Amino acid sequence: MTDHAKQAGGETPGKSAEYGAGSIRVLEGLEAVRVRPAMYIGDTDVRGLHHLIWEVVDNSMDEALAGHASTCAVTLYEDGSVAVEDDGRGIPIAMHETEGMTALEVVLTKLHAGGKFDSGAYKVSGGLHGVGVSCVNALSEWLEVWVHSGGKIHHMRFERGHRVTELTVVGDTDHTGTKVRFKPDDEIFSVLEIDYEIVSKRLREMAYLMGTRGVKIDLLDERTGHSEHLEFPEGLLAFVANINAKKNVLHEDIVHFTKQVTSPDDPGVEYEVELALQYTDAYQETVYSFANNINTHGGGTHLAGLKAALTRTLNNYVKNEKLVKDASKLPSGDDFREGLSAILSVKLPDPQFEGQTKDKLGNREVQGVVESAVGELFSIYLEEHPTSAKAVVNKAIRAMQAREAARKARELVRRKSALASGNLPGKLADCQSKDLEKSEVYLVEGDSAGGSAKMGRDRHFQAVLPLKGKILNVEKARLDKMLGHSEIQLIISALGCGIAEEFDLEKLRYGKTIIMTDADVDGSHIRTLLLTFFFRHMRQLVDEGRLYIAQPPLYKVKHKKTERYITTDAELREFVSEMGLDSLEIYDLNADKAYQGDELRQLVRELRKFEDLLEAASPSWADMPLDGLIDRWNGETLPLHWAFDGEQHHFFDTVAELNNFIALQRGLVEGELMVYSGPESDCTRDHAHVVTCLVARHEELKNALTTLEKRGLVLRGGGKWRVKSGKGEALPENIVQLARAARSSAQEEVDIQRYKGLGEMDADQLWESTMDPAKRTLYQVDMDDAIAADEIFTILMSDGVEQRREYIERHALEVTNLDV
């Protein structure tokens, strides 16, 4: 059952009368984008690569927000390119009045050029800063655009931001819209493979947010044949149902409404407020806010309006229904939001975001708009659903009682704690520095490793807090029980900033909080428990980028007088290959050529890169024969798909070939053909008739093979080399064997020691490997996808045994380096 509020009459927010060449205003040029791409898209790794897609999709969603588009299709191609197509009005193609080129070229080659800077073109727009599709053009090897407009299809092509074809009519059409297809540039990006799951999650989120506007999004991956049709006419209701799917709800119906609100200051300005909420038996609130489809992680005025409305409305209900004996002791806003799952989305003209990242909405008038709309419609819901209302209020009252018990527990902790008298917990070895930005505290697993860390640290800026055993799983505990746990008390006392609503970043004693545990199962469990605690009760530490995970070394390697601690297998291969060069010889028997000096060094580096890519080409569950894959390289193409039918391995260049093979296999089995393509498949690998997978890092692997061929290596038809070191000789006959032989020969010159626990290292080794800022590896804990993080903590750390078992069984084959 759903509660809907009728939409007020009037024009849909964002509809406009004019969108032509004159709507495009130019602010600056495009020269700097390729020089400093990270300034515009964040980085040139996975995040920046996918950001290109978001920029183009956002343009299509702006058309939908303006009421001119209802479909968006995203296609991932086998050559690594991406296409985004909509049925909007089409980017204007007329000559721009000041630029001397078509408006289409202006949009694609000038920064800060677009209709969103002209209030007459878009009343509602997500892409405020407008670097948009011009950045995509600048950072693409090539980009093509087709505009359906005026009964004709118009086409242009660009390469690395420069136009290479004029605007040309290439056909007739009976509809309008824009299609942009681009291929990210391998000169810019370190990773070129588009991740289907990342794209799918983002588009699904967008489909929820635009669902009540009738927007439909299609995603097709031509590399695998996977496709999704994303259409959610119930909008945010479906969004909340999805995030609560694995939680126990207090009321079955989801509160959901959309309301148009006219600005009290300007009758010509309208706001749209959409809210969906449902309460669960969880102890945490899960609230996400959006403004013009932008995820406002930092909240803002719209979120403040929502919180104020919920508190005021529920308190009024409590008083009117006389649900508490003492009307002066009412639940707080935090109490009323315990267990709340809510999605708030506002659409507004001229959004003011704080910061280039659009993290926090700053429009002051929005707070009153949201508070008024939510207060009115949520009051109606409570009156019409007394059973649900009382369940929510009773939970808040229990939360208030637990909060009061927690307050008393905190006071008891403070009285008992040495911190209250100006000292620190006895187990904490504090540092001398009081400078927040220089000081750091290590949370160390076990007293033994804690002792070594205390002796090995730099006392000037490093503090150490040893933790005994596994801390409480806070996902299953209310605040009062959590505060009774001694190790959690120690952490709270040591950090000094408080938790939950009492959290005060100004009181934080250390700039970095670093979790340091063993690289085994128990260490991973302790790290997960600590991360759960910080995620649920000190979330601001994560948001501020002050929580880290130390990476103890996996190996200690020694070559002659050189010693080094290594944290990854790829780093080990790099070190071994560099150190073993002195005694390594590679001789190409077919070409009668010896590789020496810088040429040998460069060859070994390229072989190492090739081997790293080859290792990443096949997921751990697939067991793809990598030699067989490389044997099918023909100088230009490399198979994109692999399949195993229980007896033979098969490789295919296209998904169509793979599908034909699967169709043939269906005729060979009785009943349904079981195909395993990864953890999301409908069967397990052991029960599958056919196992298939996509070759990962495909474009990069092709580039690496091309580079090796340019160096003179014979990769097709088999080669023959002699690889010698001081301790032996090998005769590889293909490039895979050569890469492995070069590494193995070099490895014979290096002494390798494998580590499993912190306790295996003395104080000096622990400092040198894990605590020395000049040499250590730290991973900063961040949260790109808070919704996914909340879901995974719920699955793995709550009482839901069945969903946890299902998750573990589904992902078991992805595990690597399991230490049992």
| Local structure of 359: helix, strand or coil | coil
**In the numeric block, which tokens belong to residue 688?**
């599958």
Is residue 746 classed exposed, middle or buried when 0-12, 13-18 and 19+ CB atoms within 10 A define those classes? buried
Is residue 615 classed exposed, middle or buried when 0-12, 13-18 and 19+ CB atoms within 10 A define those classes? middle
Residue 799 falls in the annotated catalytic set: no
Q: What is the pLDDT of residues 299-357, one digit of tens each?
A: 899 999 999 999 999 999 998 888 887 777 889 998 999 999 999 999 998 888 875 45
Q: What is the pLDDT of residue 84?
A: 97
Q: What is the pLDDT of residue 664?
A: 93
Q: What is the pLDDT of residue 788?
A: 58
Cβ-based neighbours of 171, under 8 Å, separated by 6 or more: 152, 153
Q: What is the mean pLDDT of residues 463-480?
A: 80
Check: CB of residue 86 under 8 Å from CB of residue 178.
Answer: yes
Indicate the Cα dihedral angle 610, 613, 614, 615, nearest 10°: 130
Which of 62, 185, 518, 574 is an active site residue?
518
Q: Which residues in 43-82 are b (16+ Cβ under 10 Å) and which e? A: ebebebbbbbbbbbbbbbbbbbbbbbbebbbbbbebebbb
Q: Which of 198-202, 381-385, 388-392, 526-530 has the least mean pLDDT?
A: 526-530
pLDDT at residue 712 is higher than 50 = yes
Which of 221, 445, 612, 791 is an active site residue?
445
Is pLDDT larger for residue 647 or for residue 427?
647
Q: What is the mean pLDDT of residues 474-482?
A: 74
Beta bridge partners of 462: 440
Query: Distances in Å between the alpha carbon of 81 and those of 74, 231, 661, 671?
Result: 11, 25, 25, 38
Q: What is the pLDDT of residue 169?
A: 94
Residue 326 falls in the annotated catalytic set: no
Long-range Cβ contacts of 521-525 (<8 Å, 24+ apart): 521/818, 521/819, 521/820, 522/445, 522/470, 523/445, 523/757, 525/470
List the one residue out of 82, 97, 183 whose CA is nearest residue 141.
183
Q: What is the pLDDT of residue 777?
A: 85
Q: What is the pLDDT of residue 701?
A: 92
pLDDT at residue 690 is higher than 90 = yes
pLDDT at residue 129 is higher than 50 = no
Is pLDDT larger for residue 641 or for residue 800?
641
Q: What is the pLDDT of residue 19?
A: 60
Distance between CA atoms of residues 811 and 686, nearest Å? 14
pLDDT at residue 130 is higher than 70 = no
The pLDDT-based confidence of 412 (bands split at 50, 70, 90) is low
Distance between CA atoms of residues 182 and 306, nearest Å? 40
Q: What is the pLDDT of residue 411?
A: 66
The pLDDT-based confidence of 449 (bands split at 50, 70, 90) is confident
Query: Distances in Å between the alpha carbon of 479 and those of 369, 390, 553?
Result: 33, 22, 36
Q: What is the pLDDT of residues 33-58, one digit of tens each?
A: 888 888 888 889 998 999 999 999 99
Secondary structure of 623-637 in the HEC alphabet?
Answer: CCCHHHHHHCCCCCC
Characterize the bridge pairing of strands 649-652 and 675-676: unpaired
pLDDT at residue 6 is higher than 60 = no
Q: What is the pLDDT of residue 814?
A: 46
Which of 359, 520, 571, 645 is an active site residue?
520
Characterize the bridge pairing of strands 512-516 and 440-445: parallel
Q: Fill in the DSSP letter of residue 11.
A: P
Is pLDDT larger for residue 458 or for residue 360?
458
Distance between CA atoms of residues 554 and 51, nearest Å? 33
Q: What is the pLDDT of residue 10?
A: 37
The pLDDT-based confidence of 645 (bands split at 50, 70, 90) is very high
**In the numeric block, which tokens belong to residue 402?**
């637990």
Q: What is the pLDDT of residue 9?
A: 35
Is pLDDT larger for residue 605 or for residue 412?
605
The pLDDT-based confidence of 140 (bands split at 50, 70, 90) is very high
Distance between CA atoms of residues 132 and 178, nearest Å? 15
Distance between CA atoms of residues 505 and 518, nearest Å? 29
**In the numeric block, which tokens belong to residue 3?**
């509660």
Query: Distances in Å between the alpha carbon of 572 and those of 172, 261, 519?
Result: 58, 61, 17
pLDDT at residue 482 is higher than 60 = yes
What is the full DSSP assignment across 667-721?
TTSSSPPPEE-STTSSS-GGG-SEEEEE-TTHHHHHHHHHHHHHTT---SS---E
Distance between CA atoms of residues 602 and 275, nearest Å? 58
Check: CB of residue 185 under 8 Å from CB of residue 192.
Answer: no
pLDDT at residue 684 is higher than 60 = yes
Domains parsed from the chain with CATH numbers: 4-230 (3.30.565.10), 236-406 (3.30.230.10), 427-553+776-788 (3.40.50.670), 562-631+695-754 (3.30.300.370), 640-694 (no CATH)
Distance between CA atoms of residues 741 and 720, nearest Å? 12
Characterize the bridge pairing of strands 462-467 and 512-516: unpaired
Residues in the chain, total:
820
Question: Among the ranges 378-387, 617-626, 703-712, 768-777, which has the highest mean pLDDT value?
Answer: 378-387
Check: CB of residue 147 under 8 Å from CB of residue 89.
Answer: no
Residue 171, Cβ neighbours under 10 Å: how many? 10
Q: What is the pLDDT of residue 420?
A: 39
Q: What is the pLDDT of residue 3?
A: 38
pLDDT at residue 175 is higher than 70 = yes
Question: Among the ranges 278-282, 532-536, 677-681, 787-791, which has the highest mean pLDDT value?
Answer: 278-282
Q: What is the pLDDT of residue 20?
A: 63
pLDDT more than 70, % of the chain? 86
Q: Which of 135-149, 428-442, 458-472, 704-718 has the least mean pLDDT?
A: 704-718
Distance between CA atoms of residues 722 and 265, nearest Å? 82
The pLDDT-based confidence of 231 (bands split at 50, 70, 90) is very high
Residue recorded with tokens 């296609």: 75
Q: What is the pLDDT of residue 811?
A: 46
pLDDT at residue 413 is higher than 60 = no
Q: Which of 73-87, 91-105, 112-126, 280-294 has the least mean pLDDT?
A: 112-126
Q: Is 0.95 topped by the overall pTM?
A: no
Characterize the bridge pairing of strands 216-221 and 71-76: parallel
Q: Which of 444-453, 582-591, 755-764, 795-804 has the least mean pLDDT?
A: 795-804
pLDDT at residue 816 is higher than 70 = no
The pLDDT-based confidence of 486 (bands split at 50, 70, 90) is confident
Distance between CA atoms of residues 473 and 282, nearest Å? 13
Q: What is the mean pLDDT of residues 532-548?
A: 87
pLDDT more than 90, % of the chain? 38
Which helix or strand (DSSP H or E) is residue 803 part of?
helix 801-811
Residue 174 falls in the annotated catalytic set: no
pLDDT at residue 718 is higher than 80 = no
Q: What is the mean pLDDT of residues 129-156?
A: 89
Per the prediction, the chain carries an average pLDDT of 83
Check: CB of residue 382 under 8 Å from CB of residue 312.
Answer: no
Residue 520 falls in the annotated catalytic set: yes
The pLDDT-based confidence of 113 (bands split at 50, 70, 90) is low
Residue 607, Cβ neighbours under 10 Å: how many? 25
pLDDT at residue 15 is higher than 80 = no
CA 395 to chain centre: 33
Distance between CA atoms of residues 674 and 215, nearest Å? 34
Q: What is the pLDDT of residue 184?
A: 96
pLDDT at residue 211 is higher than 80 = yes
Which of 522, 571, 631, 653 is an active site residue?
522
Distance between CA atoms of residues 286 and 337, nearest Å? 9
Distance between CA atoms of residues 404 and 399, nearest Å? 9
